[in-house]
Amino acid sequence: MQAFAEEVKSDGFRHVVLLGMGGSSLGALALSDLFGSADGYPDLTVLDTTVPATISAISDSLDCEKTLFIVASKSGTTIEPNVLYKHFRALVEREIEGADTGNHFVAICDAGTSLERLAREDGFRRVFTNPPDLGGRYSVQSLFGLVPAALLGIDVGKLLDSVETMSTLCGATVPANDNPAVWLGALIASLVEQGRDKLTIVTTESLQNFALWVEQLLAESTEEDDTDATDRYMKVVEEAGIPVVRFDLTGRHNIGAEFFRWEFATAVAGSLMGIHPFDQPNVQQAKDKTTELLADYENSGRAPALNAVSSLTELMSHVKKGDYLAITAFAEPTAQVELALADLRQNVTGKWGVATTLGYGPRYLHSTGQLHKGGADSGLSLQLTQIENADVTIPGEKFTFGVLAAAQAKGDLDALAAQGRHVARINLGADAVQTVKTLANSLK
Ligand SMILES: O=P(O)(O)OC[C@H]1O[C@](O)(CO)[C@@H](O)[C@@H]1O
């Protein structure tokens, strides 16, 4: 891996764009956030969206000649990386005519998948095949995390040493009380039993995407989660007297140990809670609805309609003690949108006294989407959409990214509603920031 990273660096690549969802990208995102790229190594962008505005913004900013794309998917069948590959392959072919475009693409996947075949047929620079007995969200210490880490110039050996240290501390002969992961898993499970079924992860800035990684691990595995990294929200949490556990990261490479601790703890918590920690059965429901909507579009030419559904106030009229509000946004996550949403969340908590989660679509569909549909019936869902403002075609497909994003948004809300969950949708219109601000202010 490190030899490959050196080769990529010396061939003049300055940017790596990783196309992948959930466990196939969040570990790399966490590592890139924490380490950045070492001197002379390329930077890393994770692209795990179908929202046209974000895809256009990234496509416009790329210097294709110096960009390497990683298509990362264990199953090889996930729609997002597959269509993103089609888009970027065409872009590279347009931008650097005549060159060996396959050289700009790398695949990470399980052996024998359709992605492996495609990558070989399309002449990818390299195909990394992963051991198939690893669940997606438990795969950061495998090629899914390590190849991007090596490309960033991270010392992969040091990272793995820290994983090994934690795995020794969690060995089979270590009594449960002294085992850091069993202790954490048991704590999570026992707090859930006492009714504390929300976990807030507060981190320093460089670990915010590590929190996203933990969110996916827990939300798909145990169906219980709430994360928030803003200090203001943390204050509200502390004031509510919620138990706090603190882990200090002594040296960046020790993130490897934390990956291991949380994976093991999640398996322990899931087992104690009687939940299968390696399964995510409800994720499929939204995928099936999306597939139906896309087929309908291909037959009728009618794009999935994202009509307004209910309103925030009407939605919150159903709230009960212990419920949470899941805010999902199919919009470009600009800094201003993030700030406006942080205010909205704070005001929701202030007005109704509930915890909130925030997930951008379609990323959250591969993470907290499981919690929303398969977790306890304590979540109300507010979907915010801003999809129509731009569109991007997908070579070889009848649908565009806009149609796909709309089908994913509608598919998820339909799946939730079909389960009797309370839902609302607000279309953000042309000015997403202003719409969210107005909504937040109306709650004061
Ligand atoms: O690596 P794949 O097969 O593309 O899957 C991506 C993600 O999708 C999920 O299967 C959920 O849809 C996650 O568990 C997984 O990490």
Residue 363 near ligand 1, beta carbon < 6 Å: no
Question: In terms of Cα–Cα distance, which of 220, 337, 222 is closest to 286?
Answer: 220
| pLDDT of amino acid 227 | 44
Ligand 1 pocket, residue 328 CB under 6 Å: no
What's the pLDDT at 69? 98
- At residue 83, φ and ψ (nearest 5 deg) are -75, -30
Q: pLDDT at position 385, please?
A: 97
Residue 221 has a pLDDT of 65
CB 49 within 8 Å of CB 84:
no
pLDDT for 204 equals: 82
d(CA 257, CA 24): 19
Q: What is the pLDDT of residue 389?
A: 62
- The residues facing 69 across adjacent strands are 17, 105
Nearest to 366 by CA among 194, 201, 195, 220: 220
For position 226, what pLDDT does the model report? 40
Is the distance from the beta carbon of residue 179 to the nearest atom of ligand 1 less than 6 Å? no
Tell me what pLDDT residue 278 has.
83
Q: Whose CA is nearest to atom 12 of ligand 1?
A: 366
Minimum-distance ligand 1 atom for the alpha carbon of 78: 4
- Note the pLDDT of residue 158: 97
From the list 139, 141, 137, 163, the residue with the least C-alpha distance to 150 is 141
Q: Is the CB–ligand 1 distance for residue 136 below 6 Å?
A: yes
Ligand 1 site, residue 280, Cβ cutoff 6 A: yes
Q: How far apart are CA 149 and CA 366, in angstroms?
A: 22
Residue 74 Cβ contacting ligand 1 at under 6 Å: yes
The two tokens of residue 326 are 């899941």
In this structure, which residue's CA is closest to atom 11 in ligand 1? Answer: 366
Residues above pLDDT 70, as percent of the chain:
95
Q: Is 22 in the pocket of ligand 1 (CB under 6 A)?
A: yes
For the Cβ of 24 lying below 6 angstroms from any atom of ligand 1, the answer is yes
From the CA of 321, how far away is ligand 1's center (Å)?
32
Q: Is the CB of 373 under 6 A from ligand 1?
A: no
Mean pLDDT by 10 residues, the chain (444 residues): 96 97 96 96 98 95 97 96 98 89 97 97 97 87 97 97 97 94 94 86 87 88 48 66 78 95 94 86 83 94 93 96 95 95 95 93 93 89 88 95 96 94 96 96 93
Distance, CA of 412 to chain centre: 16
Among protein residues, the one with the nearest Cα to ligand 1's atom 4 is 73
Q: What is the pLDDT of residues 118-136, one digit of tens each?
A: 999 999 999 999 988 888 8
